[in-house]
Amino acid sequence: MSRPRLQVSLSDAEDRELYELRDDKTVPGRTKRRAEMLRLNHQGWKTEQIAEYVGCQRETVRQAIHRWQHSGLAGLRDAPRQGRPRQWQASDFAVVEQQLAGASTFNSRQIVELLKTECNVQLSRRQVSRLLKKRGTARKRTRQRHQRKQDPVARAQGLRELTALRNAAEQGLVRLLYMDETGFES
């Protein structure tokens, strides 16, 4: 059983509007493709020909035509998608990149704090890392160093004691063994 042929008849103004919509840089690709489908149908192309030309299924072409017939120009645009809306905007990461341009190193924790204070956007460290990777921002994991966290007085005292023990071992007064936390001697 064949379906009835769908045919769109466009006025000159509608045809011009669809043509301009197809070439507009701010319009999403799906909407442009639907506009092209309608113009081709108006010119007498069959749904099978349009589907092959555009690279989609016949049913997709038929849906675009039905949407035009029921809703007009508003039917060409995508409906809102399900899911939680995005918590950040591209401008938020532009602010982050601008702030971090002068910094030699940074980590995801610092970026999370920066987003929270500057842009009022709350993301997890994992989200920030994933978004930076997706944007191609060079990111290096920072190593944990404990040198700056050590007490300088206690460190100097420990080095003095170790030097004294090494000197005593060289003189043969003591036997010096080094042991790690597993009990392995060297």
pLDDT in tens, 127-155: 888 877 777 765 556 666 766 777 889 88
Determine the pLDDT at residue 62: 92
The radius of gyration of the chain's CA atoms, rounded to the nearest angstrom, is 34
pLDDT digits (tens, 9 = 90+) for 35-85: 999 999 988 999 999 999 999 999 999 999 999 888 888 888 888 778 877
What predicted TM-score, i.e. pTM, was given to this entire model? 0.46
Which pLDDT band holds residue 186 (cuts at 50, 70, 90)? low
